[in-house]
Amino acid sequence: MLTRKAMAIFLVIMIVFSLYITSCNNKNGVGQQREDTEKREWQGIITIWDFPRWPDEKGNRFHWIQEKIKEFEKENPGIFIELRKLDWENGVFELNAALSSQTYPDIVPNALNYIYVQQGYVEPVEEYFSKEELRDFYKSALDALTYDKRIWGFPVFMTTYAMFLNLDIFRERNVEPPQDGIWTWDEFVTKLKKLTFDRDGDGKTDVYGFHSFIKEGYYNLWGIITSDGALPFSDDLTQFTLHYPEGVSGLEKLVDLVNKHKVTPPEFGKDGPNEAWGAFAENKKIAVYPAGSWAVKVLADKQKEGKGFNFGIAGYPVGKLGMPNIIHPCVGGYMLLKQENEKKREACVKFLKRITSPEEQKRFKDYGVFPARKSAGNLYIDNPYFTRIQEMLGFTTPVPNHPLWHKIEPILQREIRKAVLGEKAAKQALEDAKVEIEMLLE
């Protein structure tokens, strides 16, 4: 028979053993719970900010991204994507302000200042693509999102500028459009002079050969400025180069259209995008106008409504470089901002890879843009307008992904405008820009 002391020792041993077993079970339970959690797909809200794109039949310019969100949410229960609609006037400012205030969304268009890439706000994405997938993207599509040898976004579509021609004015003046859309600078000027005239006989010019506008974020005139081979920066982005002789001669060509050849309306350099486009598309007083591929559908729709005109498309005039040299943002895509939660990051990547797939890009034929992936094929093989614009993609250089571009571009656009308005000589304008820009680069 156990003594009282022995019984007490036995009870203590049993209690300790019981606690040990319970502890083991709890550890196993926690481990199992953690394992289950890790296996479970992430659920929550992804926020995306986006600009208006191509309109549907109701005029909704967000229909494409809304459709993609709806499809993804259906395929991934528990994940919700919240869309904030930006506008082109203030959207870039809102994006940059959100990052500055640390209140940024998860996914944004590739319109950020690259200083935020430099500061670590953006996720590099090359690891989410196989080598085969990366090879499937056009080089220029990846170049437009590359900085410091890393890729900082998901390319969705490509586009560029071209020269749109009012062929009715060409016929009215008995002027032949450039053969195969190719013209030298001298041919360009000669034709523009013939296309500038007094239509109603009142002694005043009312139809002009050329018109456009100068505005931050738009580079429709830069294909003239760079036609002799100039570029804004060296390849490594360390040196400003637009003030080189090729840049000066290019800007002089643009200025000569105004002051020497007098083929632009008095509002050239003062008009904004809406006014300049209206003079071309609505008032039909401009023979040649540089615009993006979006203009094809707009002009074609006007034709169908009986409010338009016969139009054609040509490349930018060829200068000393020997081929067109277009500056354009080139690629529409999305950036993934910094994510602390790995599972949420994976969910964001899953969405972004879905909307950049070759299958999705084949649908861009309906929207007037070009796929960023080779395997999507030639969407416009039977469309002469888009075929001509697609040729221009091969002569397009992306806007520099310089971290200070948001400060550099306003200086350049201001000085270009001053040269066009006759306030400065072209060389002086670019030299003054150089001084300011080099101070920023120090």
Ordered domains of the chain (ranges, CATH): 44-159+330-398 (3.40.190.10), 167-328+402-441 (3.40.190.10)
- CA-nearest of 244, 257, 237, 234 to 430 is 244
Q: For 26-76, what is each residue's pLDDT tens digit? A: 555 545 554 444 446 799 999 999 999 888 888 899 999 999 999 999 999
CA separation for the pair 157, 332 (Å, rounded): 5
pLDDT in tens, the chain (442 residues): 445 455 545 554 554 455 555 555 555 554 555 444 444 679 999 999 999 988 888 889 999 999 999 999 999 999 999 999 999 889 988 998 999 898 999 999 998 889 999 999 999 999 999 999 999 999 999 999 999 999 999 999 999 999 999 999 999 999 999 999 999 999 999 999 999 999 999 999 999 999 999 999 999 999 999 999 999 999 999 999 999 999 999 999 999 999 999 999 999 999 999 999 999 999 999 999 999 999 999 999 999 999 999 999 999 999 999 999 999 998 999 999 999 999 999 999 999 999 999 999 998 887 889 999 999 999 999 999 999 999 999 999 999 999 999 999 999 999 999 999 999 999 999 999 999 999 999 8
**What is the pLDDT at residue 251?**
99
**What is the pLDDT at residue 348?**
98
**What is the pLDDT at residue 18?**
54
Pull the structure tokens for residue 57: 């039949």
**What is the pLDDT at residue 92?**
87
CA separation for the pair 278, 272 (Å, rounded): 10
Q: For 160-173, what is each residue's pLDDT tens digit? A: 999 999 999 999 99
What's this model's pTM, rounded to 2 decimal places? Answer: 0.85
